[in-house]
Structure 1
């Protein structure tokens, strides 16, 4: 699809938005809006087969995520959002790189509840921050399996009060390999299925 490739071309070279100029940001937001108008899945939340899986962040306007790259001596690696439809679980995983042997990980586990055909309510449940080696991190898939078995990690591993820490996400576009979402804080997310 021509509009999809235009968005991906606009995003290329922006390092998920970290390096995007104001002009690029405006062009990207316009390309996102154009693609959202062409969403082939009118009720994305009900498309479990499309939602399910591991998604890699391509672009965002989320200051919280982009600020992870501002930690001294550290560089933001891949960011994943892994959705498990059967358990209504979402796992956000950000890999942090820097000094050898001190690779880090920032992760949030949450539950989601469909509100309508486009929106999910997200309740954050657990935060895990630590060194990849101490956690035993190899891949998002392996890490999620450990979380789901109830493993307590050698890290800052704390429960989150889901009554106070929650938000919503509108899924505004989804197909077999691309998803666009808009969050309650005004952030935009573009992800590709891995």
Structure 2
């Protein structure tokens, strides 16, 4: 399928959205639809992602013909914090050839912009964790290195963020659009 065909199919899917305001509970109260929560694999991004559009990522994609070099496993986990905030954890595995593979992530909170479907995503921390090198997996007990970039409870005006509209969500698929019109299709990862 071409990009234009995929975009047309996603637009038709969005018209069938069973949850028009996923940033509210089914009763219409503040909260989130349980359908948003879970682990999601990125299947399609109409114009790439913030991660894949960076110069280092473009270099990796260009060099991905080499063994062990590339970008893989782009995922997003949506969960509720102890305070009820919707937390997004976005990760991707970067392969750097002989330097190994590293899981790099950003974490932040979604804040409802007021319409029940548009969120301001404010990123609070960056994490880096080795996945493996020289054909050996890194031990699971190795913790990620986490760097805070702000606080979940702060006002967030100076933090890095993005506007995000969830235009379709059901138990298997989720479609979202960024402020620039970029369309993202996620597939729910099956429970393990």
| SS of equivalent to 1:117 | coil
Shift in Å, 1:167:
1.4
Q: Is the 1:69–1:76 contact (alpha carbons within 8 Å) kept by the matching residues of 2?
A: no
Q: Aligned-pair RMSD on alpha carbons? A: 2.7
**1:113-148 CA distance string (max 9 Å, x none):** 1122211111111112353259x675xxx99xx7xx
Q: Is the 2:121–2:161 contact (alpha carbons within 8 Å) kept by the matching residues of 1?
A: yes
| SS of equivalent to 1:83 | strand
The runs of at least 4 aligned residues of structure 1 exceeding 4 Å deviation read none
User: How many residues matched?
Assistant: 159
Residue segments in structure 2 that go unaligned for 5+ positions in a row: 25-31, 151-155
1:28 maps onto 2:13 in alignment:
no
Structure 1 residues 92, 33: closer, same or farther in 2, change over 3 A? same
What TM-score comes out, normalization by structure 2 length?
A: 0.71
What TM-score comes out, normalization by structure 1 length?
A: 0.71
The structure richer in strand per residue is 2
Cα distance in 1 for residues equivalent to 2:118 and 2:139: 31
The structure richer in helix per residue is 1
Q: Tell me which of 62, 71, 78 is aligned to 1:76.
A: 71
With 45-54 and 165-174 compared, the bigger mean Cα shift is at 45-54
Cα distance in 2 for residues equivalent to 1:96 and 1:38: 35
Shift in Å, 1:98:
4.9
